[in-house]
Amino acid sequence: MLKRNSCCPPVRATPTVLAPPAAASRLARRALALLPLVLIIGCGKSGSTDGVHTAELTPSGIGSEGPAGPSGIPPGLADDETGSIQGNTGADAPLPAPDAPPHSSLTETPAPDQGDEPTPQDERFHTTLERPILEDPPRPAIVPWSDISEEEFAAGLPAPVVIAPPDHDFDSNQPPLFPDLRNVTVVAGEQLELHLAPIDPDGGIAGQYLKELFPGATYVDNFDTTRTLVWSPLQPDVGIRELIVYAVDPVEPRLRVAYTVLIKVVLPEDPTSIVNHPPGIDRVAPQTVRLGDPVVVQIKGTDRNGTIPRVEIADYPADTTFMRHRDDPRIRVIRFVPTEPGTITLQAIAHDALDPELTHRKPIVINVEAAETFERSGERLRDLASARDFHIGYASSTRPYHRADGGLYAATASSEFNIVTPENSMKWDRLNPTPGDYNWAAADNLIDFAQANDMRVHGHTLVWYTQLPAWVKETRPETRETHMRQFIERVLERYADDVPLWDVVNESLDRNGGLRNSIWLEAMGPSYIEKAFRYARDAAPDATLLYNEYDIGWYGPKARGLLRLLDSLIETETPIDGVGFQMHVDADFDRFHELADMIDEVSSRGLDTYITELDVSMRGEQTEAQQAAVFRGVLSVCLEAPSCKALQAWGFTDRYSWREAFTPLMFDREYQPKPAYRALQRRLAGN
């Protein structure tokens, strides 16, 4: 563990940057999440404590003992996110930035208990008629900045954190600085202008970027190498929060320094002097629903001043039921059952809590179509697939039955697919967002839906570098294996009987075919993959255990990396049963023979294969016909390979897709089949 030098006096990092012990302690806790890349600076002389190198920041730069560790590229600059050909673009950085509340002392956390058990929801709040829908126990909201004390604020700017490539030579290239930063206080209702002017001790022009921008703030380019954060906080912003800003070296962009500025927002002496802004209403996208299905719409009133507007609904159908949301007083829920086709335009009107004359109006459009509109010719995909002992599937959006079109979503999915993956609801940040708290409802509901419709469930995903809760990212490296094991055991203890197939490890490779940086690699080394599979096998002896990855369906360094990884897992007799090829591709994809070869390579190692996350984005001038050809081509490869057990699309309607803008799926936003659907239908039928 990082040792704090208790005799360390406050060190003047620059004429204005102080790092006294309290602040250093806070940053030290955060720095644990960044091991081994991080140099903690500003406290004492250069030295190494259990793998963390410390160094002293002076106005002229940093003194260092040498490399910070074996890892590769630091967070935010990883080059393995976009993939070489059709890669993912939405993935998170591989290592966490120092932005989460500290839980680094956790060695283990309480197992789930009765307090985590979901309970049936009042049926008026959802669109599923046949079965009860479960919801999780209410949880207190997580306020990320709430643990920053007045003492920490008063202690001055926390010590900056240097992030450097492992072999960086600090003698020849010193890290950039923000010489003028200090913690700031701003009065709610007034405007903060924080000038951000990095310098490079070596004389170049340093860059900068923010970890994230507060809602409502702007990050203005002054076109003179500096930027200004402009923010007008209001009543809900009162408290102390962090702004994390990186100074970037002009020559070596992987050399960066993360500065944490504490911003305190206080109320003015007369809080009524703060301007009362009009309320708002969160957008509800136009919906297409099926005549006769219940329609449930959640309408959220908002107010920048933090009051709760009264939401009125006008022009609603007869027999509409009005309800308050259980957990969020800003949300009004309405439910009705349309009795005829046509367009219903509800009017939502928010009235300001302090001044009811101050209003905001928003139309909500519901397009009601007769059931026949959604009838499709030919046989259903699942029937065609089942006839060939094959599985055709989709990834389920979270909580579809809480959307207006939930009935249609469920009916389409259950009629077309015989396997389903939870798109998000089994990820660690969803299941176990805070230590000892488990949210099971979304996964339970999906399993119940699948069982009611005779579908298999494909669990996704146990060990991944991202979508981790903040508390996991902040754990000490030496405790992580315990947390990994406990998560696997707890999830499989609940679901092993119902979920026969699991993505055990997801996306461990970088674009060059090496292991990507992650909190798991950092803490456990390359053996984390093998260990994850062993823990999963122990907890679910009968399950099919997969390694799931993107950009491995065609030749290249990543595909070669996959085969090396598989060989090493086989060498150690790791209990792996198969590989998931994600296949997030574009409509001009044509490397089908390479996909076939890769599937052959994997099956020649005695492993099953799955197409796990197929979607085919249409970009530029690409056409639905091209898209259909890709769906068909990928399906053909899979059907022709005895090892390939399923083709699973990453969603089914363009309305709910992570790449919604590129309409990558087989049904359009109105649940009408696209050429891709017909192509799958024909190919499954053997044509």
- Asked if residues 57 and 201 have their Cβ atoms less than 8 Å apart, the reply is no
- At position 618, the amino acid (one-letter code) is M
Q: Which lies closer to ligand G3I via its Cβ, residue 530 or residue 613?
A: 613
Provide, rounded to whole angstroms, the least separation between the CB of residue 421 and ligand G3I: 9
CA 442 to CA 684: how far, in whole Å?
A: 31
- Asked if residues 655 and 617 have their Cβ atoms less than 8 Å apart, the reply is no
**Binding pattern for the stretch 244-273 against ligand G3I, x by CB under 6 A and - elsewhere:** ------------------------------
Length of the chain (residues): 687
When binding is defined by CB under 6 A, the residue of 613, 666, 671, 677 that contacts ligand G3I is 613
**Binding pattern for the stretch 580-609 against ligand G3I, x by CB under 6 A and - elsewhere:** --x---------------------------
Q: Which lies closer to ligand G3I via its Cβ, residue 382 or residue 584?
A: 584
Provide, rounded to whole angstroms, the least separation between the CB of residue 90 and ligand G3I: 4
First-residue to last-residue Cα distance in the chain:
62
Q: Which lies closer to ligand G3I via its Cβ, residue 160 or residue 422?
A: 422
Provide, rounded to whole angstroms, the least separation between the CB of residue 548 and ligand G3I: 7
> How is residue 430 written in tokens?
């969803």
Using CB under 6 A as the binding criterion, the count of chain residues that bind ligand G3I stands at 12
- Of 135, 369, 507, 522, which residue is the catalytic one? 507
Nearest CA-CA partner of 407 in 126, 99, 207, 675:
126
Provide, rounded to whole angstroms, the least separation between the CB of residue 331 and ligand G3I: 12
Cis ω for the linkage preceding 398 (within 30 of 0): no
- Residue 507 is a catalytic residue: yes
CA 230 to CA 238: how far, in whole Å?
A: 16
Cis ω for the linkage preceding 36 (within 30 of 0): yes
Which residue is nearest to ligand G3I, using beta carbons? 658
Angle between helix axes 557-571 and 592-603 (nearest 10 degrees) is 10
> How is residue 481 written in tokens?
């294996």
Backbone angles phi, psi at 223, to 5 degrees: 55, 30
When binding is defined by CB under 6 A, the residue of 7, 15, 90, 621 that contacts ligand G3I is 90
- Asked if residues 345 and 364 have their Cβ atoms less than 8 Å apart, the reply is yes
88 binds ligand G3I, rule: CB under 6 A = yes
- Of 135, 152, 530, 613, which residue is the catalytic one? 613
Please list every residue from 321 through 380 that binds ligand G3I, using CB under 6 A. none
- At position 361, the amino acid (one-letter code) is R
86 binds ligand G3I, rule: CB under 6 A = no
Please list every residue from 475 through 534 that binds ligand G3I, using CB under 6 A. 506
**Helices and strands (DSSP H and E) totals, the chain:** 14, 34
Provide, rounded to whole angstroms, the least separation between the CB of residue 70 and ligand G3I: 26
CA 570 to CA 602: how far, in whole Å?
A: 11
Q: Which lies closer to ligand G3I via its Cβ, residue 208 or residue 461?
A: 461
Provide, rounded to whole angstroms, the least separation between the CB of residue 459 and ligand G3I: 12
When binding is defined by CB under 6 A, the residue of 658, 662, 671, 677 that contacts ligand G3I is 658
Q: Which lies closer to ligand G3I via its Cβ, residue 91 or residue 274?
A: 91
- Asked if residues 580 and 644 have their Cβ atoms less than 8 Å apart, the reply is no
Provide, rounded to whole angstroms, the least separation between the CB of residue 296 and ligand G3I: 16
Q: What angle do CA 674, 675, 679 make, to 5 degrees?
A: 125
Provide, rounded to whole angstroms, the least separation between the CB of residue 588 and ligand G3I: 19
Q: Which lies closer to ligand G3I via its Cβ, residue 43 or residue 91?
A: 91
Q: Choose one: 49-57, 86-94, 132-140, 407-415; the region binding ligand G3I (CB under 6 A).
A: 86-94
CA 207 to CA 227: how far, in whole Å?
A: 10
**Binding pattern for the stretch 541-560 against ligand G3I, x by CB under 6 A and - elsewhere:** ---------x----------
Regarding beta strands 207-210 and 239-248, do their DSSP bridges make them parallel or antiparallel, or are they unpaired? antiparallel
467 binds ligand G3I, rule: CB under 6 A = yes
Alpha helices in 260-394 (DSSP H): 381-387
Provide, rounded to whole angstroms, the least separation between the CB of residue 88 and ligand G3I: 5
Provide, rounded to whole angstroms, the least separation between the CB of residue 632 and ligand G3I: 22
Q: What angle do CA 431, 433, 438 make, to 5 degrees?
A: 45
Sequence-distant (6+) residues with CB within 8 A of 135 are 118, 119, 120, 121, 326, 441
**Binding pattern for the stretch 178-217 against ligand G3I, x by CB under 6 A and - elsewhere:** ----------------------------------------
Regarding beta strands 17-18 and 12-14, do their DSSP bridges make them parallel or antiparallel, or are they unpaired? antiparallel
Nearest CA-CA partner of 595 in 546, 630, 567, 626:
630
CA 635 to CA 686: how far, in whole Å?
A: 11
Alpha helices in 454-554 (DSSP H): 470-473, 477-495, 519-524, 527-539
Q: Choose one: 74-82, 88-96, 408-416, 491-499; the region binding ligand G3I (CB under 6 A).
A: 88-96
| CA max distance for the chain | 78
Provide, rounded to whole angstroms, the least separation between the CB of residue 420 and ligand G3I: 14
> How is residue 371 written in tokens?
């059931």
- Residue 530 is a catalytic residue: no
Q: Which lies closer to ligand G3I via its Cβ, residue 157 or residue 552?
A: 552
Q: Which lies closer to ligand G3I via its Cβ, residue 148 or residue 484?
A: 484
Q: Which lies closer to ligand G3I via its Cβ, residue 31 or residue 462?
A: 462
CA 453 to CA 171: how far, in whole Å?
A: 65
Please list every residue from 406 through 465 that binds ligand G3I, using CB under 6 A. 423-424, 427
**Binding pattern for the stretch 40-79 against ligand G3I, x by CB under 6 A and - elsewhere:** ----------------------------------------
Q: Which lies closer to ligand G3I via its Cβ, residue 227 or residue 403?
A: 403
Q: Which lies closer to ligand G3I via its Cβ, residue 14 or residue 424?
A: 424
Binding interface with ligand G3I (CB under 6 A)? 88, 90-91, 423-424, 427, 467, 506, 550, 582, 613, 658
Among all residues, which ones are annotated catalytic?
A: 507, 613
